[in-house]
Amino acid sequence: MNFKNLCRPILAVTLIVTPMVWADTKVALDVEHPGSQINKNIYGQFMEHLGRGIYEGVWVGEDSKIPNTNGYRNDVVKALKELKVPLLRWPGGCFADEYHWQDGIGPRDQRPKGVNTNWGGVIEPNSFGTHEFLNFAEMLGADAYVNGNLGTGTAKEMAQWLEYMTSDSDSTLANMRRANGRDKPWKLPFFAIGNETWGCGGSMTPEFYGHLYKQYASFLKTPADNTPILIASGGTDDRLDWTEELSSLDPVFAYRIEAISHHYYTVPTGVWEKKGNALGFPEEEWASTMSRTLHMEEILKKNLAILDKNDPEKKLGFYVDEWGTWYDVSEGDPGFLYQQNSIRDAVVAALNLNLFHQHAERVQMTIIAQMVNVLQAMILTDKEKMILTPTYHVFRMHTPFQDATYLPVSLTGNPEYKLGEHSVPKISASAAKDKDGKIWITLVNTNPSDSEIIEVEGKYTSLVGEVLSADKMDAHNTFEAPNTVTPVVFKAKASNGKLRLKLPAKSVLVAELK
């Protein structure tokens, strides 16, 4: 497979709109009053021991016929490097609270096998463990985020795992790591105490978890130059009690709560028992998907208001460390959560990223679920085959926004896209200035049928970038047709002092303004 052909734009288009055409929406950038830095970790990725997310998706082992380097499949590594993946979260998810780290170290043929009780009841061989994950993060140049086992583990087990990973001393655990092939400790920027403790992580109340967090955090000691940010397992959906409780622990910072997580998935129907299909869905589910994914804005505002009340000095981060679309499983093991990925998912991804940019002061990390072969994946594999999804292309197009400075954006006009009980703005926008002084803009058209005329106000003479769109609402890439949905070059020039462009239906545009 020629990887370059998978990511190269296959068509160039120049769309110039004359000044006589009325603009549906006007977009203005406030370059004089920049906002916060857009933390690169807003573009974080998640790899859980779930389905083919790790085994086959990333790890095939050194003896595999699939081309690999030290067991990691070459095509996937190359694709992820193109994304400039800033952060990797592992080993879960629900899997984390049944994961005992010592099962995943030492010679692979001697590691114990377990049962993955959360995801399909399959055998977990433990051939991908601490060394394999942290070495993989280094290979990608990504920060590591490790999720500790609070549900079935102990404070001692968690503390010893941290010592194994971070200590450069002559301790037994540090020497065990050396004996297993790693001399110097890894850098560990992030560590979470538990996951979804309101559900699969222990069915706890916020108050009970708060006491456990303080207990466990008291024993998590690392070298001064290798101390991870500690993340508390927070709420889900519209629940605010977790953020309220964890941000008001007294004294919160004595126990090193430095960030609180939150999870929210976009389910088209709003009903977990019948979520809706990834493909072949009616326009009603396109509209409901747009509406329900934009509910993220309300979730952010309400949680951030609590943090502003309880933490006016803004020391606490708010990490949406699981988000994305979740559909009914259409093929394979139901426990593997494999779903196709269409232009609808690309639009969903871009809408969320725009919201995260807007709240970048507090929202310093978000992690889409998941990276390969699971839920809203970047990459899908089938044995030796690999394809890039529309969501992958959105993340690749947005790399200029990593660590750029947010520029406030205002929209005027901007009619709504309506269908039945669902109504959303047709256009979503975000902008930023990168470290080289370049100004970038992203525009999203939520309307699946109609293009929109956009005018970018200001003294801009041109716009050059890429646009991702498709003819059908469920257009997607397959192993037989991997370039069905792929970005194309997009250019526009000002005419008579007006920079106007025609934004295609159901599209995502990322471009530099000049």
8 Å CB contact between 426 and 25: yes
| Confidence at residue 262, expressed as pLDDT on a 0 to 100 scale | 98
| Confidence at residue 8, expressed as pLDDT on a 0 to 100 scale | 44
Distance CA 11, CA 167 (A): 52
Structure tokens at 447: 């309307």
Distance CA 227, CA 232 (A): 15
Largest CA distance in the chain: 76
Distance CA 132, CA 181 (A): 11
| Confidence at residue 256, expressed as pLDDT on a 0 to 100 scale | 79
Catalytic residue among 48, 98, 196, 245: 196
CA distances 49 to 10, 46, 90, 232, 469, Å, are 35, 10, 8, 21, 32
Residue spans in the chain of domains classed CATH 2.60.40.1180: 3-33+408-513
CA distances 162 to 141, 172, 183, 186, 217, Å, are 21, 13, 15, 10, 12
Active site residue 196: yes
15 pLDDT higher than 80: no
Structure tokens at 228: 């991870």
| Confidence at residue 310, expressed as pLDDT on a 0 to 100 scale | 94
| Confidence at residue 253, expressed as pLDDT on a 0 to 100 scale | 55
Q: What is the CATH code of the structural domain delimited by 3-33+408-513?
A: 2.60.40.1180
Which residue reads 């070298």 in tokens? 223
255 pLDDT higher than 70: no
Helix (H, G, I), strand (E, B) or coil at 492: strand
- Please report which helix (H) or strand (E) contains residue 130, including its range: helix 130-140
| Confidence at residue 3, expressed as pLDDT on a 0 to 100 scale | 40
Whole-number percent of the chain with pLDDT over 90: 92
The model's pLDDT over 72-121, given as tens digits with 9 standing for 90+, comes to 999 999 999 999 999 999 999 999 999 999 999 999 999 999 999 999 99
The model's pLDDT over 407-461, given as tens digits with 9 standing for 90+, comes to 999 999 999 999 999 999 999 999 999 999 999 999 999 999 999 999 999 999 9
Of residues 155 and 6, more confidence is placed in 155
pLDDT grade, residue 9 (50/70/90)?
A: very low
63 pLDDT higher than 50: yes
The model's pLDDT over 312-369, given as tens digits with 9 standing for 90+, comes to 999 999 999 999 999 999 888 899 999 999 999 999 999 999 999 999 999 999 999 9
| Confidence at residue 251, expressed as pLDDT on a 0 to 100 scale | 61
Measured torsion, CA atoms of residues 167, 104, 64, 178, in degrees rounded to the nearest 10: 30
Active site residue 245: no
221 pLDDT higher than 70: yes
Average the pLDDT over each of 5-9, 151-155, 458-462 and give the range with the smallest value. 5-9
Amino acid at 366: T
| Confidence at residue 22, expressed as pLDDT on a 0 to 100 scale | 75
Interval 27-50 mean pLDDT: 97
CA 371 to chain centre: 8
Number of residues in the chain: 514
- Please report which helix (H) or strand (E) contains residue 386, including its range: strand 385-388
| Confidence at residue 21, expressed as pLDDT on a 0 to 100 scale | 64
Among candidate residues 511, 507, 509, 510, the one with its CA nearest the CA of residue 344: 507
Residue spans in the chain of domains classed CATH 3.20.20.80: 40-404
Whole-number percent of the chain with pLDDT over 70: 95
Catalytic residue among 322, 452, 455, 466: 322
Contacts made by residues 415-424, CB under 8 angstroms, sequence distance 24+ = 415/24, 415/25, 417/287, 417/290, 417/446, 417/447, 418/287, 419/283, 419/284, 419/286, 419/287, 420/284, 420/287, 422/284, 422/287, 422/288, 422/290, 422/291, 423/291, 424/287, 424/290, 424/291, 424/294
- State the CATH class of domain 40-404: alpha beta
